[in-house]
Amino acid sequence: MTMTIKKIKDRAFFYGVCFFSFLTVVPLVAIIWELVSKGYKQINWSFFTESAPSTFEAMLAKQSGDILPGGIANGITGTLLMVCLAAIIAIPVGIFAGVYLAEKPKSKYAAVIRFIADLLQGTPSIIIGIIAYAWVVKPLGSYSALAGATALMIMMLPLIIRSTEETLKMLPGSLKEAAAALGAPYYTIVLRILLPSAFGGLFTGTLLAVSRVTGETAPLMLTALGSTAINWDVTAPTSAVPLLIWEFYNDPNLADMIWSSSLFLMALILILNLIAKQVAKKWRIQ
Amino acid sequence: MTKNVLFKSLLFAASFIVLLICGGIVYALVSGSWEAFSQFGVFQFIFSSDWDPTIGNEHYGALSFIVGTLFTSFLALALCIPFSLPVSLFIGEYFKGKKIANFIGSVIDLLAGIPSIVYGLWGFYTFRGLMVDLHLSSEGFGILTSSVVLAIMIIPYATSLSAEFFKMVPNDLKEGAFSLGATQYEVIRRVSFPMTSSGVFASYILALGRALGETMAVTMLIGNTNLLPTSLTDTGNTMASIIANQFGEADGLKLSSLIAIGLLLFVITAIINLIGRFIMKKFAPTK
C-alpha cells in the first residue's frame, strides 16, 4: 500500500514538473507569434532603406488604408553606429583586462577588479544611462551618439572581461609553458598563443555582449535621444531601433510600425545569439 | 624586454580602466544627487512619499518609488519561483543531458534575449487586455501586471543558474538513494534539494537583482502615478520607471532628485547582488 502512494507521489511530481516546464514555453511562442503576425505586413524594401515617417505622413496613409510609408533606416544606422563605437573600445579593453585577471588568479588587486566587474554587470541599465548623461551629454551640451555608445560600452565591458577570463582559465597550462620554454617573450605568448587558442570563447563572449546591448532602450533614452533622419555625426542626437520602437509606441499614428521594428530587433538579436552558439560549439576547448 | 614591460603595463591599464569607470560612476551619482540630499536630507528624502514639482514649492521624496520597486520585484520573484524551479529540475535533474532538456534550455536562453521593450509591448497590447477581461483592474495597468511580466523576464536568470546547481549534484549520492529504494521524487527532496538549496537560493537573489533594475517593461505597464502603492491593482512607479519617465524634461532640483533615486537604486541592487554572490561562493558545492 505504501509502495503505491510513494509511486503516485513520484509520478504526480514528475508530471507537475513537465507541465510547468512546457508552460514556460508559452510566453516565448506568444511573443514571437504576436511579432510575426502583426509585423510581417510592414516589412518591405523601404522598411530597410527609408527613415521613419512623420506622424502626418502616417496619418494620411492610414486614412487611405495603405500600409505606413518609410522604414527604420535611421534606427538601423544609429544602432550600427553606436554598437560599433562601443565595441571598438569595449573589446580591446575588455579582453586585455580579462587577460590580466586570468594571469593573476590570486592577487588582491585582481580580486577587486573582478568584484567591480560583477558589480557593473548587475547595475541596472538606466543607471548606466544617467552616468553617460553626466559624463558626456552634460559636458558636450547635447545628446549624442557618443553618449549612447559610452553607455553601451560600460554595459559590454564586464561581460567581455568575465567571458575572456573564464575562457583563458580553461586553456591548459602546458600551452603557456611550452611557449615559454621555447623562449617566447610574454607578449608573444599572450598575443600569438593564448588569445588565438581562446578565439572561440572570446568571439562568443563578444557577440553575446553585442546582442545584449543591441536591445537596450533605457540608457539610450537618456543619452542618444533619437533623430528623425539618418545621422552619422557622433556628436549629434541619433536614433536606434529600440528608440524608434519607443517612439512608435508613444504615437498612435505610428503604432503599425511597432511590430515590424520589434520583429526586426528580435530577429537581429536571435541571429547574433545563434551565431555565438554555433561558434562556441565549433571552437570548444577540448 | 622593454616590450614585455610595455605589454604588461598595457594589461594593467586595461584593468585599471574598470576601476576608473566604477569610481566615475560613484562620483557622478554622488555629486549629481548632492543638491537633493542637502536640500531635503538623506533620511527625509528616503522616507518622504511627496513628489511635488510645483515651482516654488518643490518637494521630492523617494519612498513611493522605493516601495513600488520592492513591491513589484518581490512579487515577481514569488511568481517566478513556481515556474523556475520545475524548469530547472527538468533541465538539471529529470532530463539532464537529454535533447529535450537542451530544447527547453534554448527556449529559456531565448526568453533571456528578448529586449525589455518587447516584453513591455507584449504586456501592453496582450497581457493588459487579459487583466481587464478578468476584471482584475479597469485599465490593466498596475503593480500586478508589471509583476507578472517581470516574473516572465526573470525566469531565465533564475532557471539557468539553478539548473547548473542541480547538474552538479554527484551521481553516486543519487544512486545510493535509488539503491535504497527511493523514488526520484524522494531523491530530489532528500538529496538534491539539501545539496543545492543555498545555490538555488542565490540564483533567486540574483534574479531579484535583475527585477529591481528593469526599466522599460515596467515603465510601460505600471501606470506611472507618483503615489504610494498599497494594493496589487494600484498603479505606481518604480525607481527605474520614474527616472525613465521624467529624466528628459527635468532640471535643477528635480534632476538632482532623480539622480539621487538612481544612487539609491544603485546601492540597493549592489547589496542584493553582493548577497547573492556571497552565498554562491560560500555555500555552493565545489565551484
CATH number at residue B219: 1.10.3720.10
Is residue B35 assigned to a domain? no
Determine which of B150, B155, B186, B215 to mutate to test the interface with A (most A C-beta atoms within 10 Å).
Answer: B215
With contact defined as beta carbons under 8 Å apart, do B88 and B159 qualify?
yes
Contact A17 B94 (CB under 8 A): yes
- B110 falls within a domain: yes
Q: Is residue A277 situated within a structural domain?
A: yes
Amino acid code (one letter) for B104: I
Is-contact B271 B187, C-beta < 8 A? no
CA distances from A282 to A192, A200, A279, A286, B97 (A): 20, 8, 5, 11, 19
Q: Which residues in chain B touch residue A266, judged by CB atoms under 8 angstroms apart?
A: 114-115, 118
The residues, any chain, with a CB within 8 Å of residue B252's CB and separated by 6 or more, are: B35
Chain B contacts in chain A segment 219-238 (CB below 8 A) = 221-222, 225
pLDDT at A2: 63
Task: Give yes or no for a contact between A162 and A121, defined as CB atoms under 8 angstroms apart.
Answer: yes
Tell me, yes or no, whether A85 lies in a domain: yes
Q: Which residues of B fall within a CB distance of 8 Å from A246?
A: 117, 216
Distance CA A138, CA A1 (A): 75
- Asked whether the ipTM of the predicted complex exceeds the cut of 0.90, the reply is yes
What was the pLDDT predicted at B284?
A: 63
CB contacts of B14 in chain A (<8 Å) are 92-97, 99-100
CA distance B4 to chain A (A): 6
Q: Which residues contact A55 (CB under 8 A, 6 or more apart)?
A: A251, A253, A254
Contact A217 B104 (CB under 8 A): no
Contacts (Cβ under 8 Å, ≥6 apart) of B282 = B198
Minimum distance, in Å, between the CA of residue A61 and any CA atom of chain B: 22
Q: Give the integer Cα–Cα distance in Å for B192 and B173.
A: 9
Task: Supply φ then ψ for residue B52, to 5 degrees.
Answer: -120, 105
Q: Is residue A227 part of a domain?
A: yes
**Predicted local distance difference test score (pLDDT) of residue A123:** 95
Task: Give the pLDDT score at A286.
Answer: 52
Determine the Cα–Cα distance for residues A18 and B103; give it in Å rounded to an integer.
13
Cα gap A11→B36, rounded to integer Å: 59
Q: In 3D, which of B73, B83, B155, B72 has the Cα closest to residue B113?
A: B155
Buried b (16+ CB within 10 A) or exposed e, B80-91: bbebbbbbbbbb
Residues 6+ apart with CB under 8 A from B67: B49, B228, B229, B236
Cα–Cα distance measured from residue A141 to residue A131, given in angstroms and rounded to the nearest whole number: 15
Domain of B83?
59-283
Nearest CA in chain A to B101: A21
- Of the candidates A132, A196, A141, A198, the residue with the CA atom closest to the CA atom of residue A165: A198
The CATH number that applies at residue A172 is 1.10.3720.10
Closest CA to A83 of A215, A267, A246, A202: A215
B98 Cβ under 8 Å from any chain A Cβ: no
Assess if residue B139 is contained within a domain. Answer: yes
Q: How many CB atoms lie within 10 A of CB A182?
A: 10
Q: What mean pLDDT do residues A260-271 have? A: 94
What is the phi-psi region of residue A50: left when phi exceeds 0, alpha when psi lies from -120 to 50, beta otherwise?
beta
Nearest to A28 among B32, B107, B183 (CB): B107
Q: Is residue A47 a part of any domain in this protein?
A: no
Q: Which residues of chain B have pLDDT under 70?
A: 1, 284-287
- Is there a domain that residue B2 lies in? no
In a domain, B43, yes or no: no
Residue B74 located in a structural domain: yes
Residues of chain B found within 8 Å of residue A25, distances taken between Cβ atoms: 104, 107
Of A166 and A286, more confident: A166
In a domain, A195, yes or no: yes
How many C-beta atoms surround the C-beta of residue A25 within 10 A? 16
pLDDT of residue A212: 92
Q: What confidence score (pLDDT) does residue B286 get?
A: 52
Kindly give, in sequence order, each residue whose CB lies less than 8 Å from that of residue A205, ignoring residues fewer than 6 positions away: A159, A160, A162, A163, A164, A167
DSSP single-letter state for residue A182: T
| Number of independent structural domains in chain A | 1
Q: Mind telling me how many Å the CA of A212 is from chain B's nearest CA?
A: 7
Cβ of B104 within 8 Å of Cβ of A24? The answer is: yes
What is the number of H-type helices and E-type strands within chain A?
16, 0
What is the rounded radius of gyration, in angstroms, for the C-alpha atoms of chain B?
Answer: 23
Q: Which residues of B touch A28 (CB under 8 A)?
A: 107, 110-111, 114
- pLDDT recorded at residue B287: 43
Alpha-carbon gap: A5 to the closest alpha carbon of chain B (Å): 11
Structural domain that includes position A216 = 73-282
Q: For A205-227, what is each residue's pLDDT tens digit?
A: 999 999 999 999 999 999 999 99
CA distance to partner chain B, nearest, from residue A24 (Å): 7
* Domain-located, residue B97: yes
**Residue A39 included in any domain:** no
Q: How many domains does chain B have?
A: 1
Q: Of A13, A126, A156, which to mutate for an interface test with B (greatest number of B Cβ within 10 Å)? A: A126
Neighboring chain B residues of A94 at a CB cutoff of 8 Å: 14
Please determine, for residue A32, whether its predicted confidence score (pLDDT) is greater than 50: yes
- Given pLDDT bands bounded at 50, 70 and 90, which one contains residue A6? confident
Does residue A20 lie within any of the structural domains? no
Torsion angles phi and psi, residue A183, rounded to 5: 85, 15
Domain annotation covers residue B7? no
For the stretch A73-121, pLDDT in tens is 999 999 999 999 999 999 999 999 999 999 998 899 999 999 999 999 9
Written as nine digits, the cell of B74 is 518581490
Domain assignment present for A1: no
Minimal Cα distance from B1: which residue of A?
A185
Mean pLDDT over all residues of chain A? 91
CB A72 within 8 A of CB A52: yes
